[in-house]
Chains A and B, each alone.
Chain A
Amino acid sequence: MAQKALLVLEDGAAFPCRAFAGSGEVKAEVCFNTAMTGYQEVLTDPSYRGQMVAMTYPLIGNYGANPEDVESARVQVSAFLVKEYIDFPSNFRSRQSLRSYLEEAGVMGVEGLDTRALTRHLRIGGAMQGVLSTEDLDPASLRKKANSGPGLVGVDLVREVTCPKAYRWLEGRPGPEIDLGGEFDPEAIWKGGAGGFKVVALDCGVKYNILRRLAARNLKVLVVPAFTPAEVIAKLQPDGLFLSNGPGDPEPVTYVVQCVRALMGRLPIFGICLGHQMIGQALGGKTYKLKFGHRGANQPVMDLATAKVEITSQNHGFCVDSASIEDPDVVMTHVNLNDRTLEGLSHKKLPLFCVQYHPEASPGPHDADYLFDRFVDLMRGGGLPSAA
């Protein structure tokens, strides 16, 4: 029999389970994802840093793990919680079982957990810290640990996941590291690769598929660390700036907000997820923590310019408060149809736009892929569609 494990949340709720990969003890925020496919993409999405993720779909491991469906160079989640782990993957691309994949990454995976009960608990009680352990099975002790130390609010997790050095995205993977610390020759940096517009992607925990979707438009992509100063970016003379997704609370990530503020209006900017929250703050808005977040691949978003609905992939626990933005030139472009929260912004005078959700999908539907084209149009000098 597999090793017994116990998950206890900060309010004392306990969820018995069994470890199918790894062992030990880990503390993190507990969240759930409702996508029925794409667990490998979820595991490797840097936005999940500092969280353990429960999949609401009960059978996980069905198609194993492969070298392609990765969103970063490593498994990012703190732990992985499922109802039934499937140890006999069946898919022509599978190279190993999920168990061995997690074990190689040193990340604990547990099964036999009533993930629906957990989901309902988080939906009703809101996001919570939890401790998962195979070493300590005493609920009271684990509850105490869950309540000790900081949660996600106020903590800057971007520093943990951003790349230490810049790199070009070449042939579907990160190229060699580039030092932007001292003097450098912008032309040399942009040399080679695709022939289109030059885009600097500020890496707050960027998903590979964003880079893949940018590259698919024949763009030259340079990924730079999140703390890269505005002047350095300006010196690179890109045609556009991309602000990536990333983990945790957007408020403490002030250095990126400052950078955006400095570059707004000087070049076209496109932001996704945390990038959207950075732009929201740069435009004077505030962010707040959602009760339990949006994580899944079925969230309906309306593009207010066309009144069309797109089914989107989402992964965020924080949100920009649209009411907090006073600038009359800021336009609300997208809205979530489930809870009417803000999903996208643009500006009447400045060449920028951003969305809270994930047009790069992975996992999830491709409905919003058109936004990458919109970014190219913007760099080409075209305008943004205005709200109907």
Chain B
Amino acid sequence: MPKRKDLKKIMIIGSGPIIISQACEFDYSGTQAIKALKEEGVEVVLVNSNPATIMTDPEMADRTYIEPITAELVCEVLKKERPDALLPTLGGQTALNTALQVADTHILERLGIEMIGANPQVIRKAESRELFRKAMENINLRVPKSHICRTLEECVRAGEELGFPLVVRPAFTLGGTGGGVAYNAEDLKAISTAGLAASLTSEVMIEESVLGWKEFELEVMRDSKDNVVIICSIENLDPMGVHTGDSITVAPAQTLTDREYQIMRDASIAIMREIGVETGGSNVQFAVNPADGELVVIEMNPRVSRSSALASKATGFPIAKMAAKLALGYTLDELPNDITRETMASFEPTIDYCVVKIPRWAFEKFPGSKDVLTTAMKSVGETMAIGRTFKEALQKGLRGLEVGRAGLLGDGKDPKVLSDEALREKLRVPNSQRIFYLAQAIKGGMGLEEIHQLTWIDPWFLANIKQLVDMEAMLAAKAAWGSLKDPLADLDDGLLRQAKEWGFSDRQIAHILGSTEDAVRARRQKLGIRHVYKLVDTCAAEFEAYTPYFYSTYETEDECRASDRKKVMILGGGPNRIGQGIEFDYCCVHASFALAEMGIESIMVNSNPETVSTDYDTSDKLYFEPLTLEDVLNIVESEKPWGVIVQFGGQTPLNLAVPLEKAGVPILGTPPDAIDRAEDRDRFCALLNKLGLRQPANGTATSVDEAVVIAQRIGYPVVVRPSYVLGGRAMEIVYDRDSLERYMNEAVEASPDHPILVDKFLENAVEVDVDAVSDGETCVVAGIMEHIEEAGVHSGDSACVLPPHTLNPEIIREIKEATRALAFELGVNGLMNIQYAVMDGLLYLLEVNPRASRTVPFVSKATGIPWAKVATKVMAGLSLQEQGITEEAWPRHISVKEAVLPFVRFPGVDPVLGPEMRSTGEVMGIDRELGLAFGRSQLAAGQSLPKNGTVFISVKDSDKAAVVPVAAKFHRMGFEVVATGGTQAVLQTHGVAAGKVWKVSERRPHVVDAIIDGQVQLVINTAEGKGPASDAYLMRRTALERGIPYITTLAAAKATVDAVESLIKSDHLTVTALQDYFEKDR
């Protein structure tokens, strides 16, 4: 069936901010889909609140709405744009849920808009546990026995009937929020309460446990002619009980015979048909009883997903692109396979390698949370590795995870040896380090059968890991026998080759043998043990592949196709983590685009399967490889690039800059030494002195006593942090000597090798973020962002405004001059980011980063200039003058960036902002006036600001005077104001009528009761008393869990009251396309 002619304009809903369980995989899918639709001449309208995405680039969709993804605003866009169809299957659960809400308003019928891909009925059938269970019964498939419950009492009754353990799964949530495993009635009550609250439909399923069963996933595609194909099968290393997003997963399935695989395939196809997904991709999850092969269906997602992104990267088959084309009416046999060109998309990819995906977690950033994996997803990113064996892929994946490990073992970083009892516990209860404990248990002689009994991990995986442990022992034995002078002398060709084939890095081998990485590299090269590159081609080499998508391995044939064109290698950011995510991928992708415009070959290196950068058609070549020195040097050796870009991928490639330069690799742009000048405390001071710039008083301490002396000299409060950390790890503001000593003794371990930085904390200062591009001759400020939250809140967690809303022209001029001076002095060539603070009219310099920053995509969206592209061209030799970019952009509209935080996923954690970054993503609000721009950003971040009702205020003493005008304004607008004792007294004194609410510690009904009863619509609570016992903590946590907007800084409270005022005045929000802002500005 050829393409439908009636679909001329299609709207896509994006997935909004990056949150746990919804990351950049939906930018990858959405970007692919937009390109595919435009290729077909379709006009594309996009709604997405996330400015860090490629899909929201103004030149991607025809009409781009960076607006909150709410049913109300999506309806506004529909009314304004009148598309022929709405395609809801590309923006994750957010898009699917929003589309359902939109459909419920009947606007689609009224405007004659068709929902394509999956209609509301299909979505409900797949998402509602009850409907899904019935559907499965219709096709004789079994789902775990379960009860749908809508009240706590029903949950308890279900528990009695089914017996423990039980799985609690809320309907209509993201990544299993609120779900979990209950081992007893008490667990059941706690988890069910959270689950009922998290579910949009207030229903949870209490389900028979299939804990310990093997878990599989199949990625399926169907077209309008009912052709169905399986794109990829995935087997989870972690059995049922761990969310698939938190599992190590392997493609293809390893332990199924063809007979069992075909049963699963038949079931998947039957499910597609029964649920009725008309066109596009879906994901089906199964559990299999290892004892007898019994199969149960866990769930299906009628949309592209994190797994489909993984499947696309694992096979080379672009699921989202095909889904978009199928939605237009094409059938699979009409669409060519891009990779082979001569064959069509109606086939099933077959792979001749093994793929391993490993999640990355951030428990260390959430003190109070337990490092335990359950059915609710907690990981913030993932890495994927490809190898010819599972062992190779696993080790590549573990070193690509960038957690300081060079592989599974043998790098001297094994976890501390635990007692047998403690070790068994680490194996039995899934956790982020379990894979390393597995190796340790095997090493310690624990039998595979016992480990299997503890973990239920399939013996196949355990036996593979044992082979790696044995290899380490064999290498170590060689070292013991080798001569002291040259530990490599006795190492024979066969063993070394086998080690490399099993993914051992040179660093691991060096550590085991007591040698150095360089020596191992030299030795194996002398023996002719060299890396080769193989292609990901969808067809196991049956057809010629045209798309150069490579992975490394140690084998005989090298398929690398180095050209003699001028080429530039871009090092990506690796797995997402807090502080390093999609923003850096955005920059890398733009580098590729810029190089293409300049006719330079682009070579992307990255290990993150969720990203646009690892799409096979983003760059001229893609190397799906870990970002370690060894792996990068190997690519350099094969490709011999003209230059390597290290400043776009965040800290990952930056850390490689110096060693790469030492190895003679040409680094493009700012010289690596500039990074050191900016990061080394002494050199940085010298730099500022030379330029006459001011920084907060500071010192470096290598002991507790030194820290105390410094703090006394510069005066409290002080900011303390370990040197060389990312994202404010372990950073704290301390107000007195006691807290400083506690911090020094408990939080960190200071030593001459690991000094602690002590800075004067600038209280109530305004923080300013600046991005700039310099080519050595010209330096252009790309954007000046004024933070809403005062200094002390990590810049990544703070909201900010562009252009600045309170800074005077004099300070702005000073900022620009200081920026220019720094750029020229450091020799910046490309992007740089500077953080300033303004206090009492004085400008202080906090930090300089001569690299791309997290804010580059936001600034690009706000100003309409693709700064990462501009910077790439600068690095490749095209001056700013030649590019015609010599002046600052100063947009007339106001853009606000707001951070999105994952606190709800970490029970027990105090949801308060601080110097350590915890946000996973960001949203953007754009308007002509600040109040509405801020209001939009809050709405987009999920803080639905009330227009009436009750505001609860409780602030610390130092904020009490300043909160009065905020309270007064709420009062004037008709809000009822309530407060706890101290705050209420101050408000009353200043003539603001406020009701009194009891603190939790006083008596009931107290503030938390009021929040639970729905008597409060907005919470303003600035931190006083941290830790899980305090009143403040309980208030914040309750508001968070109930979805009531809460504000933890005074600055944000001020901005919020203005936003509420604007929202009330404006009656209802209108929508404006990004393209229109720049049209009008011009």
Contacts and interface: CB of A to CB of B under 8 A. Distances in A.
Interface string B324-354: 0000000111000000001110111111111
B396 to A, nearest CB: 15
A92 B540 contact: no
B542 A123 contact: yes
Contacts of B226: 308
B778 to A, nearest CB: 50
Contacts of B258: 35, 37-38, 41, 69, 297, 362-364
Given A58-B389, A59-B389, A300-B333, A364 B350 contact: no
A33 to B, nearest CB: 9
Contacts of A362: 258-259
Contacts, number: 159
A288 interface: no
A338 B354 contact: no
Interface residues on A, range: 35 or more
B453 to A, nearest CB: 15
Nearest to A36: B252
Contacts of A66: 257
A165 to B, nearest CB: 29
B1030 interface: no
Interface stretch (B285-293, B406-414, B644-652): B285-293
B458 interface: yes
B541 A296 contact: no
Contacts of A62: 254-255, 460
Contact of A57 (B229, B350, B459, B542): B350
A32 B540 CA distance: 10
Given A90-B460, A92-B292, A309-B332, A338 B259 contact: no
B256 A37 contact: yes
A93 B290 CA distance: 10
B391 to A, nearest CB: 9
A120 interface: yes
B458 A296 contact: no
A83 B388 contact: yes
A63 B494 CA distance: 27
A117 interface: yes
A59 B540 contact: no
Given A38-B258, A62-B254, A311-B347, A117 B540 contact: no
Contacts of A69: 257-259
Interface string A281-324: 00000000000000011111010000111010000000000000
B262 A90 contact: no
| Most-contacted residue by chain B among A15, A41, A68, A117 (CB, 10 A) | A117
Per DSSP, chain B at the interface is: loop
B347 A299 contact: yes
A371 B720 CA distance: 74
A297 B350 CA distance: 9
Given A117-B556, A338-B343, A361-B262, A92 B293 contact: yes
B887 interface: no
A90 B257 contact: no
B542 to A, nearest CB: 6
A338 B333 CA distance: 10
| Most-contacted residue by chain B among A36, A68, A90 (CB, 10 A) | A36
B388 A84 contact: yes
B265 interface: yes
A305 to B, nearest CB: 13
A38 B260 CA distance: 10
A21 B353 CA distance: 23
Nearest to A18: B494
B227 interface: yes
Contacts of B227: 308-309
Given A58-B352, A59-B390, A123-B541, A302 B347 contact: no
A93 B255 CA distance: 11
B346 to A, nearest CB: 5
Contacts of A114: 555-557
B463 interface: yes
A18 B586 CA distance: 46
Contact of A298 (B290, B331, B348): B348
Given A115-B352, A299-B347, A366-B262, A57 B540 contact: yes
Contact of B354 (A58, A89, A117): A58
B539 interface: yes
Contacts of A15: 556
Given A57-B540, A298-B350, A302-B333, A92 B290 contact: yes
A383 interface: no
A116 B354 CA distance: 13
Contacts of B389: 58-59, 83-84
| Most-contacted residue by chain B among A32, A88, A297, A361 (CB, 10 A) | A88
A1 B346 contact: no
A34 B539 contact: yes
Given A34-B352, A68-B259, A92-B293, 19 more contacts: A37-B261, A57-B352, A58-B354, A69-B257, A69-B258, A88-B459, A88-B460, A90-B463, A93-B257, A117-B555, A120-B559, A123-B541, A297-B348, A298-B348, A300-B343, A309-B227, A309-B346, A311-B229, A337-B333
Which 4 pairs between the two chains have the least Cβ-Cβ distance? A38-B258, A117-B557, A363-B258, A56-B540
8 contacts: A34-B539, A69-B258, A90-B459, A91-B260, A116-B352, A123-B543, A123-B544, A337-B333
